Structure 1
């Protein structure tokens, strides 16, 4: 496994673990996979493979036979159709080295959600709906490792979540006008000047970030089974 890919996967596993802790979901970490013992919040996997030792035969022993369940196959190596799963999407890991930093764009206002009201507004704008069970309760603001940012300029708006696991800075929930993505990434680089930025995204997100100097890494696949 490439070191850059391993760093991206590790950040993602730590991110899932942190969100599980916020929601008081019990988890288990094995040599080849991480999993939750209870349902995770919307959009989060129940199981994340950590290396290619997480074979389909092994997962058949781990995955419950009933109920909704979601698997992040970090190596796009599995075929879970026989277990009743549907491939939800393909994606790629990516990384941006700390240097060189992106140039800041003039005229962009960047704000951070630091209150319960601000966080609720951020999640509503990200999700594009009014009625939902929050993924990010106000208690998430007690964690210095997780931050929520919004960029605005001339009616354009975009947002991002960052997660610092001390080794890398993970970016998640990138949404809004792509013209503002560089401003968000550049802002994060000013806050964490020595941190490489990692994450994953679908083909569209990957193409947009590649134009900003991100290196596109290996593929992954997300599978889902619905009750």
Structure 2
């Protein structure tokens, strides 16, 4: 199951990144071993994602070398299986993380938080959600564009205590799994948000595993909740 979830998690994440780019009017491209975006992806999103592992590393490194010669400017590469060596091309490792997964039949106990969850459905609420996710600072250019709200497989979720926003996250139901990302908790109490998010994923997209990736304290929190580590990924960057 781990291998299945890992491959599905990688595919799901590439489809999510493609959806974010498409919402800005610039969809990426899927090749056999890579997803790539030639024009430059939105902030915090990679320009290429590897879809296969070490058996394709040489092919991927060559393709990335060709791709990065196509335009000036910065590049970000998501090395989904920690299989590439991009240092000879001038890249450095920005960070590493762990893919995580929760099987479809794994459930969580009620945390007693009393949070209520709502799906973000308007452009105004999406802008407010993004500002809260960014720590209260509005982005110079929105990262999450309104067309994402029209896709039934994607859900922006906000958690409330009364009328006060407490946190939120994104669910992305593609590639036979539910990807979760952009988890945030106002005030730092993340566990009720993660627990509630799993329940919302079960309610909105029942019967599917939940996947994503995390690092540091966020990874420890997810593992403590019952997620399983699936494999390492690495983000490479070059100015």
TM-score by length of 1: 0.92
Per-residue deviation, 1:75 = 0.9
Q: Which residue of the partner structure matches residue 140 of structure 2?
A: 132
| Residue number in structure 2 paired with 1:168 | 177
- How much has 1:196 moved relative to structure 2? 0.6
Residue of structure 2 aligned with 1:105, choices 105, 111, 134: 111
**2 CA distance for matches of 1:140 and 1:178?**
25
Give 2:80's aligned residue: 74
| Alignment size in residue pairs | 226
Deviation string for 1:49-101 (max 9, x for gaps)? 11130323443233227311110000112222222222111001111011132
The change in CA–CA distance for 1:62 and 1:138 in structure 2 (over 3 A counts) is: closer
- Alignment match of 2:123 (pick from 116, 128, 142): 116
Partners of 1:108 and 1:23 lie apart in 2 by 32
The aligned residue for residue 145 of structure 1 is 153
* Partner residue in 1 for 2:24: 23
Q: After TM superposition, which residue ranges in structure 1, 4 or more long, deviate above 6 angstroms?
A: none
CA displacement at 1:187 relative to structure 2: 2.0
Determine the structure 2 residue equivalent to 1:216. Answer: 229
| Residues 99-118 of structure 1: per-residue CA shift (max 9 Å, x gap) | 13223333112222111111
Greater shift in the superposed pair: 61-70 or 165-174: 61-70
Aligned counterparts of 1:156 and 1:138: Cα–Cα separation in 2 = 20
CA distance in 1 between partners of 2:236 and 2:36 (Å): 14
Q: Does the CA-based 8 Å contact 1:104-1:186 persist in structure 2?
A: no
Secondary structure of 1:171's match?
strand
Paired residue for 1:195, among 201, 208, 212? Answer: 208
Gaps of 5+ in 2: none
Q: Report the TM-score when normalising by structure 2.
A: 0.87
